Amino acid sequence: MKLFYTKSSPYAACVLATIAELKAEHLIELVESAPFENAPEFILSNPLGKVPCLIDEGMPILDSEVICDYIDANISGGLLFEDIYANWHLKTFYSICSGLIDASVNLRIETLRDQEGIKSEFWWQRHSEAIERTLLEIETRLSTLPEKFSIIHIAIFCALGYLDFRHPHIKWRENRLGLVEFYDSIQSRECFSNLKLG
């Protein structure tokens, strides 16, 4: 298997943490690929031009949620996902965490647009408010997390790590003791040890 990724992508971070958790590094060749360079093999595999993108025996697997599920299903038989299959509450919890990543990436895009002089105050505000509401929602739902380490743990960790990396002005630790405790309790897990967004 071959994985196109970038070090700055929170979606790729979820995939890399999944690979590390399942100790599958030896099965997957990592290819760092800046999406905006449109490298031919990458763009042929993913017409959307986004990372991460996995290729297994010529078959492209997209997007990050599907890649994590695919790797988990093929390597561990579903260790990271088994608790959320057909559990609509947990599936929604997972979507909310992925949505936090989406809103944070959208906010990053507004920062880049600002550098081009075309920042939209409306969208900046909208993404910022979505991030604040979603942080609160995730904190509220923490008590419903499966006891066993899961893909939701990974998604929350990567979302919060991305906020620290790209949006340090968002003080997510303030007044969110539950989230801080959760983050601190998993950050020394081995699967996150080589994860450096940058």
Ligand X SMILES: N[C@@H](CCC(=O)N[C@@H](CS)C(=O)NCC(=O)O)C(=O)O
In the complex, minimum distance from the CB of residue 48 to ligand X, in angstroms, rounded to a whole number = 7
**Residue 137 interacts with ligand X (CB under 6 A): yes or no:** no
Residue 146: is it exposed, middle or buried by C-beta count within 10 angstroms (0-12/13-18/19+)? middle
Q: Which is nearer to ligand X, 46 or 150 (CB)?
A: 46
Judged by CB under 6 A, the residue of 9, 18, 33, 45 near ligand X is 9
Judged by CB under 6 A, the residue of 33, 35, 131, 156 near ligand X is 35
Structural contact between residues 3 and 31, judged by C-beta atoms closer than 8 angstroms:
yes
User: Would you give the binding string for ligand X spanning residues 100-119, x where CB under 6 A is met?
Assistant: -----x--------------
Q: Which is nearer to ligand X, 1 or 181 (CB)?
A: 1
Q: Which is nearer to ligand X, 50 or 189 (CB)?
A: 50
In the complex, minimum distance from the CB of residue 54 to ligand X, in angstroms, rounded to a whole number = 10
In the complex, minimum distance from the CB of residue 104 to ligand X, in angstroms, rounded to a whole number = 9
Rounded-to-10 torsion of CA 64, 34, 163, 88: -10
Q: Which is nearer to ligand X, 26 or 40 (CB)?
A: 40
User: Would you give the binding string for ligand X spanning residues 43-82, x where CB under 6 A is met?
Assistant: ------xxxx----------xxx-----------------
**Residue 93 interacts with ligand X (CB under 6 A): yes or no:** no
Hey, what amino acid is at 137? E
**Residue 99 interacts with ligand X (CB under 6 A): yes or no:** no
Residues engaged in binding ligand X (CB under 6 A): 9, 11, 35, 49-52, 63-65, 105
